[in-house]
Amino acid sequence: MNQTLKKTKRVITILILSLSFILGACSLPGLSGAPENTIRIGTLNTTESQIMGQVVKQLIEHETDLEVVLVNNLGSSIVQHQAMLDKQVDITATRYTGTDLSGALGMEPVNDPDEAMKIVQKEFKERWDQTWFDSYGFDNTYAFTVTKELAEKYGLEKVSDLADVAGELRFGVDNSWIHREGDGYQGFVETYGFEFPKIYPMQIGLVYEALANDEMDVVLAYSSDGRIAAFNLKILEDDKKFFPPYDTSLVARNEVLREHPELEGILNKLVGTIDTAKMQKMNYEADGEKREPAVVAQKFLEEHHYFEGVE
Amino acid sequence: MMDVFQDLLNYYGQNAWYVWEQFYKQFLMSAYGVLFGAIVGIPIGIFIAHHNRLSPWVISLANIIQTIPALAMLGVLMLVMGLGPNTVVFALFLYSLLPIIKNTYTGIRNVDPAMLESGKGMGMTRLQVLRMVELPLSLSVIMAGLRTALVITIGVATIGTFIGAGGLGDIIIRGTNVSDGTTIILAGAIPTALMAIIADAVMGWFEKRLAPSTRLKKNPANQV
């Protein structure tokens, strides 16, 4: 009796283990293709990242016979980076220069956008054999934002223009920004030399409505958020270059680019095609008008005829 | 209430192909899970029905698997198998084992011993008894196991979104991440529930068709 019991125990364990390994490597029709012909794209849990992931996916599928799967909802840039190092994903669709400088690379922030881009491109190539592509053309940084009416009333163009009127303006900001080291509120006061006496900490998602409903006068928003365009808001230029640049690019593993030499040219077509206003619009189509990122991406690619003929 | 309904219609109008893609993907994950579960579970069930002393051990093992929370299961499997739908399929396979093994075991054990005896008396081999007596008589109970397994796996597959497997869970999670996502959450949750209900109904119909009493009535040749 004990003999048979042990035997069955062993048989079942072996069965389960072997099944897990077979399944891990095999392709299930309709679900996952053969690993060597599949490109995996990692995206964050933000709308912007998922739109860009879909743009990259649909473009590759349009141009090649490769199968592309999205690995959605990765928690943060660090998780994305780790997934790339573990070879769980081949491409990450949205990476931000400022985030990766301080996060993945552990370096000091750099305020010049071109220099920041140069550094991440060089470091990612040397350290991890990955290609940081040139930017899509938009950035997603903290931005001082006001309504168009207020901007006209006080003639506001740049952040410095706020200095004279800051005393009477209600300023709504992200909770975490107030106490943040470096590019937080303290750093802001030191760089620009004026304070906001009336400062209201709130959740970042609420600042747009607060501004549109006249509950706030100035807010710190994310520059590519769709509601900036939808609510007719105006971003003030960060004239003292206080915030580090967050230019957005895709990053790919060179191993995959070598395996599929056609990919690099295809991915390069996206460089410089989406400015911040365009990204705001696409983000709004997804969040405001409730179109899925996949649908927004498809529309974008169709408008550009899938960049056919572009080299 | 009407507004929500209107928004939903609007959402499906704009995103029809995407929702269908995710629906199909989620169904495939569940179906593969149950399929592998059946390939492994039914033979195990038959085996332990014939070697009854093993049954407590095997069934309690399957029971233990069933008690592991879905998120924990996916998390652990992810460490071994990585991200993506295959990991989810494997988790669903594990979850479908218990209902399939248990029902196969019960179905075969409940076959009237007199039937087995008469089979043997007619000179059938063990395999013939299994094929011609035991399996046909327990088929509807085994089907009931597959039915339970499929409904469970459709629910669990929704969580696959957390390890990048896609499916309708992707839509639900996106709804929780945008500022006004009620419509999107509902747009993902309703098809998930519908899929489970439809799967349950369809499998229930099969189960009924395969019950020995129904089959007897349908085929006059079987009536003695």
Contacts of B212 (CB under 8 A, 6+ apart): B136, B137, B139, B140
Over residues A45-62, the pLDDT tens digits come to 889 999 999 999 999 999
Residue with tokens 């969580």: B159
Residue with tokens 């051990």: B57
- Using an 8 Å CB-CB cutoff, list chain B residues near A72: 161, 164, 166, 170, 173
Q: Is the pLDDT of residue A11 over 90?
A: no
Question: Which ipTM did the prediction report?
Answer: 0.79
Structure tokens at B29: 């994950």
Confidence of residue B221 (pLDDT cuts 50, 70, 90): low
- Using an 8 Å CB-CB cutoff, list chain B residues near A289: 14
Q: What is the DSSP letter of A25?
A: H
Residue with tokens 């479908």: B96
Sheet architecture: strand order including A218-222: A198-202, A170-174, A218-222, A142-147, A233-235
Over residues B8-66, the pLDDT tens digits come to 999 999 999 999 999 999 999 999 999 999 999 999 999 999 999 999 999 999 999 99
Q: Which residues pair with A147 in a beta bridge?
A: A233
Whether residues A294 and B18 touch (CB distance < 8 A) is answered with yes
Contacts of A22 (CB under 8 A, 6+ apart): none
Q: What is the DSSP letter of B156?
A: H
Is A270 an interface residue toward B (CB < 8 Å)? no
Over residues A176-230, the pLDDT tens digits come to 888 877 788 988 999 999 999 999 998 888 899 899 899 999 999 999 998 898 8
Whether residues A287 and B179 touch (CB distance < 8 A) is answered with yes
* Residue A196, pLDDT score: 93
Is A295 an interface residue toward B (CB < 8 Å)? yes
Instruction: Among A28, A47, A286, select the one facing B32 at the smallest CB separation.
Output: A28
Other beta carbons less than 10 A from residue A211's beta carbon:
24
- Using an 8 Å CB-CB cutoff, list chain A residues near B179: 205, 287
- Using an 8 Å CB-CB cutoff, list chain A residues near B80: 20, 24
Q: Is the pLDDT of residue A261 over 90?
A: yes
* Residue A269, pLDDT score: 93
Whole-number Å distance between alpha carbons of A55 and A68: 11
* Residue A4, pLDDT score: 65
Is A40 an interface residue toward B (CB < 8 Å)? yes
Q: What is the DSSP letter of A158?
A: B
Average pLDDT over residues A108-136: 93
> Are residues A292 and A286 in contact, defined by beta-carbon separation less than 8 angstroms?
yes
> What CA–CA distances, in Å, run from B186 to A286, B26, B183, B191?
16, 16, 5, 9
| DSSP letter for each residue of A181-203 | TTTSHHHHHHHH----SEEEEE-
Average pLDDT of every residue of chain A: 88
Other beta carbons less than 10 A from residue B193's beta carbon:
12
Size of interface A-B (CB pairs under 8 A): 120
Structure tokens at A284: 């709004």
CB-facing half-sphere around the CA of B127: CA atoms within 13 A: 0
Mutation site for A-interface testing, chosen from B172, B177, B183 by largest number of A Cβ within 10 Å = B177
> By CA distance, what is B30's nearest residue in A?
A31
- Using an 8 Å CB-CB cutoff, list chain A residues near B17: 295
Touching B: A residues 99-138, CB under 8 Å: none
- Using an 8 Å CB-CB cutoff, list chain B residues near A15: 40
> Are residues A264 and A185 in contact, defined by beta-carbon separation less than 8 angstroms?
no
- Using an 8 Å CB-CB cutoff, list chain B residues near A74: 164
Whether residues B36 and A19 touch (CB distance < 8 A) is answered with yes
Whole-number Å distance between alpha carbons of A290 and A277: 19
Residue with tokens 């309690």: B60
> Are residues A120 and A97 in contact, defined by beta-carbon separation less than 8 angstroms?
yes
Whole-number Å distance between alpha carbons of B187 and B200: 21
**Exposed / middle / buried, residue A118 (Cβ in 10 Å: 0-12, 13-18, 19+):** middle
Contacts of A196 (CB under 8 A, 6+ apart): A166, A169, A171, A218
- Residue among A101, A87, A105, A94 nearest A72 (CA): A94
Other beta carbons less than 10 A from residue B132's beta carbon:
13
Residues recorded for chain A: 311
* Residue B1, pLDDT score: 67
Residue with tokens 């709130």: A202
Whether residues B171 and A30 touch (CB distance < 8 A) is answered with no
> By CA distance, what is A3's nearest residue in B?
B54
> By CA distance, what is B53's nearest residue in A?
A1
- Using an 8 Å CB-CB cutoff, list chain B residues near A8: 47, 54, 57-58
Whether residues A42 and B164 touch (CB distance < 8 A) is answered with yes
> Are residues B39 and B96 in contact, defined by beta-carbon separation less than 8 angstroms?
no
Q: Where are the alpha helices (DSSP H) in chain A?
A: 2-25, 47-63, 77-85, 97-102, 113-128, 148-154, 175-178, 185-192, 207-212, 226-230, 254-259, 262-268, 276-287, 293-303
Confidence of residue A31 (pLDDT cuts 50, 70, 90): confident
- Sign of the alpha-carbon dihedral angle for B133, B136, B141, B143: positive
How far A86 CA sits from the closest chain B CA (Å)? 9
Whether residues A4 and B178 touch (CB distance < 8 A) is answered with no
* Residue B224, pLDDT score: 47
Is B146 an interface residue toward A (CB < 8 Å)? no
Structure tokens at A73: 């909802």
Query: What's the predicted TM-score (pTM) here?
Result: 0.83
* Residue B187, pLDDT score: 94
